């Protein structure tokens, strides 16, 4: 019994560690990221429950039926009721997680009305953003990585492209990564919920300059965004256009 108690303590410790890890994960600074974060939480809790049940039962049966006098415990071969239960429970669990995943993917791909439009272009080895509503283009350099300025609490329609090889737009604080594939235009929406500067990078090894593909998103209120965008139109800070991209 003393060992059984230890098993329960280990299971409880596992729960505490898993909750701690979950607490360390970013909550998702976008509406879409919060959906992903909610899905992570469901999977984490389901994993803890399943691991707790399996490890407890394994520990219990190992200790309870450990070899003593060579006699076999009572055997339950071909018990249809037990087999039906241990087939139905995992099946229902996996189906529930599958349905939740499909629903979350649907909300991630949903396009909201209104908002602002940007085109993000990845190339070896930098990022370029085109504010298509204002015809403003900014390109990052190794010395001055691209900062994409966006309004908070507004749907942002992003069109993602690559000019050469596979890249990936990765924003850890948004719990978001999307591949940029040459010849394939990818579109998605993000809606940032809190002002701030969110670092991003390329998450697909794309050659020797891969490590230079850093960028950030600066989220500001709508008035600041519009003032900033107006300052960029025809301004001296206008970065090289797409024709300057190698
Ligand atoms: Cu890249």
3-state secondary structure the chain: CHHHHHHHHHHHHHHHHHHHHHHHCCCCCEHHHHHHHHHHHHHHHHHHHHHHHHHHHHHHHHHHCCCCCCCCCCCCCCCHHHHHHHHHHHHHHHHHHHHHHHHHHHHHHCCCCCCEEEEEEEECCEEEEEECCCCEEEECCCCCCEEEEEECCCCEEEEEEECCCCEEEEEHHHCEEEEEECCECEEEEECECCCEEEEEEECCCCCCCHHHCEEEEEEECHHHHHHHHHHHCCCCCCCCCHHHCC
> Does any domain span residue 71?
no
Q: In this structure, are 104 and 136 located in the same domain?
A: no
Query: Please, which residues bridge with residue 176 across strands?
Result: 171
Are 110 and 189 contacting, i.e. CB atoms less than 8 angstroms apart? Answer: yes
pLDDT at 24: 65
Q: Is residue 104 part of a domain?
A: yes
Residue 72 lies inside a defined structural domain of this protein: no
The Cα diameter of the chain in Å comes to 89
pTM: 0.75
Q: How far is the CA of 212 from the centre of ligand 1 (A)?
A: 8
Dist. CA 111 → ligand 1 center (Å) = 26
Residue 236 within any structural domain of the chain: yes
Please indicate, yes or no, whether residues 139 and 100 belong to a single structural domain of this protein.
Answer: no
Distance 158 CA to ligand 1 centre (A): 17
| Residue 226 resides in a domain | yes
221 and 129 both lie in a single domain: yes
d(CA 206, CA 198): 22
> How many Å lie between the centroid of ligand 1 and the Cα of residue 103?
30
Whether residues 167 and 92 fall in one domain: no
Q: Can you give the residue range of the structural domain that contains 213? A: 116-244
Total tally of structural domains belonging to the chain:
2
35 CA distance to ligand 1 centroid (A)? 27
Give residue-wise pLDDT tens across range 186-240.
999 999 999 999 999 999 999 999 999 999 999 999 999 999 999 988 754 444 4
How far apart are the CA of 13 and the centre of ligand 1, in A? 40
Q: What is the pLDDT of residues 34-69, one digit of tens each?
A: 999 999 999 999 999 999 999 999 999 999 888 878
Distance 231 CA to ligand 1 centre (A): 29
Q: For residue range 76-96, what is the model confidence (pLDDT) as tens digits? A: 788 899 899 989 999 999 999
User: Of the residues 109, 133, 167, which one is the last residue of a structural domain?
Assistant: 109
Specify whether 104 is located in the same domain as 201: no
Query: Rounded to the nearest whole angstrom, what is the distance from the C-alpha of residue 207 to the centroid of ligand 1?
Result: 7
Strands 156-162 and 116-123: parallel
Domain identity same for 129 and 216: yes
- Distance between first and last Cα of the chain: 70
**237: domain CATH number?**
2.60.40.420
Distance 175 CA to ligand 1 centre (A): 18
Same domain, 11 and 57: yes
């Amino acid at each position: 019994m003393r060992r059984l108690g230890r098993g329960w303590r280990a299971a409880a410790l596992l729960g505490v560690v898993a909750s701690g890890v979950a607490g360390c994960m970013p909550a998702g600074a976008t509406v879409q990221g919060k959906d992903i974060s909610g899905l992570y939480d469901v999977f984490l809790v389901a994993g803890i429950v399943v691991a707790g049940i399996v490890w407890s039962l394994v520990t219990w049966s190992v200790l309870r039926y450990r070899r003593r006098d060579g006699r076999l415990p009572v055997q339950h071969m071909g018990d249809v009721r037990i087999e039906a239960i241990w087939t139905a429970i995992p099946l229902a669990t996996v189906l529930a997680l599958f349905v939740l995943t499909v629903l979350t993917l649907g909300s991630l791909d949903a396009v909201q009305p209104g908002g602002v439009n940007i085109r993000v272009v990845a190339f070896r080895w930098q990022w370029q953003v085109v504010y298509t509503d204002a015809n403003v283009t900014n390109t990052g350099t190794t010395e001055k990585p691209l900062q994409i300025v966006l309004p908070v609490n507004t749907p942002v329609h992003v069109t993602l492209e690559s000019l050469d090889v596979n890249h990936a737009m990765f924003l850890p604080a948004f719990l978001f990564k999307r591949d940029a594939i040459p010849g394939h235009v990818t579109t998605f929406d993000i809606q940032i919920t809190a002002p701030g500067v969110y670092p991003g990078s390329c998450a697909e090894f794309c050659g020797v300059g891969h490590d230079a593909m850093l960028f950030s998103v600066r989220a500001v209120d709508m008035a600041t965004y519009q003032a900033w965008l107006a300052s960029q139109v025809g301004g001296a800070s206008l970065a090289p256009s797409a024709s300057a991209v190698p």
